[in-house]
């Protein structure tokens, strides 16, 4: 009987440790923590189509994560998607003519915002807007365009 109680105790501890490890991984993989960035500043960019971009998606500069998407909303005046990004203050020297593109990791991977710095000597400030943008490429639209152009070529 005593051995059975000790065995149950060890199994219980093992289960608790497993649940704690899964919780830790969920927070890390799900990017629920903002501990990777200290202070941030916000900038916005307008896109005609954001595809599958979500909040908390990475914002990369030269392949390095420099921020996260903090909000996505529709402008009621022109129906464009306004993406708000929180950028780490270590990168507060982005030129005013920086461009933003919605890119995909791999062929069918998650989407993120890629920044390409320009050459302007004036920097983006907190609350500023990136005006040079490239919307998400929608795979379905590309396939349909290819099929329609192929069909039109066969008719001639």
Q: Is 124 exposed, middle or buried (0-12, 13-18, 19+ CB in 10 A)?
A: buried
Dist CA 53 CA 50 (whole Å): 6
pTM of the model: 0.68
What band does 153 get if pLDDT is binned at 50, 70 and 90?
Answer: low
Check if the beta carbon of residue 45 is closer than 8 Å to that of residue 129.
Answer: yes
pLDDT digits (tens, 9 = 90+) for 102-149: 998 876 778 899 999 988 898 988 999 999 888 887 777 778 778 877
Q: Which token pair is 98?
A: 């920086």
pLDDT digits (tens, 9 = 90+) for 23-69: 887 776 665 544 566 789 999 999 998 888 899 999 999 989 999 99
Dihedral (CA of 113, 119, 123, 127) sign:
negative
Which residues are within 8 A (CB) of 98 and not within 5 positions of it... i.e. 6 or more apart? 115, 116, 117, 118, 124, 130, 132
Q: What's the mean pLDDT when you consider all of the chain?
A: 85
Q: How far is CA 143 from CA 46, 50, 52, 140, 151, in A?
A: 25, 18, 17, 5, 12
């Amino acid at each position: 009987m005593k051995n059975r109680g000790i065995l149950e105790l060890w199994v219980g501890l093992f289960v608790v440790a497993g649940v704690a490890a899964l919780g830790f991984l969920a927070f890390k993989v799900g990017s629920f923590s903002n501990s990777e960035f200290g202070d941030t500043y916000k900038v916005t960019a307008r896109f005609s189509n954001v595809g599958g971009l979500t909040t908390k998606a990475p914002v990369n500069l030269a392949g390095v994560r420099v921020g996260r998407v903090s909000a996505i909303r529709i402008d009621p005046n022109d129906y464009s998607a306004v993406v708000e990004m929180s950028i780490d203050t270590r990168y507060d020297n982005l030129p005013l003519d920086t461009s933003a593109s919605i890119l995909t990791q791999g062929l069918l991977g998650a989407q993120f915002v890629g920044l390409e710095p320009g050459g302007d000597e004036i920097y983006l400030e907190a609350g500023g807007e990136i005006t040079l943008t490239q919307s998400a490429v929608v795979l379905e639209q590309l396939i349909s365009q290819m099929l329609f152009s192929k069909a039109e070529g066969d008719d001639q």
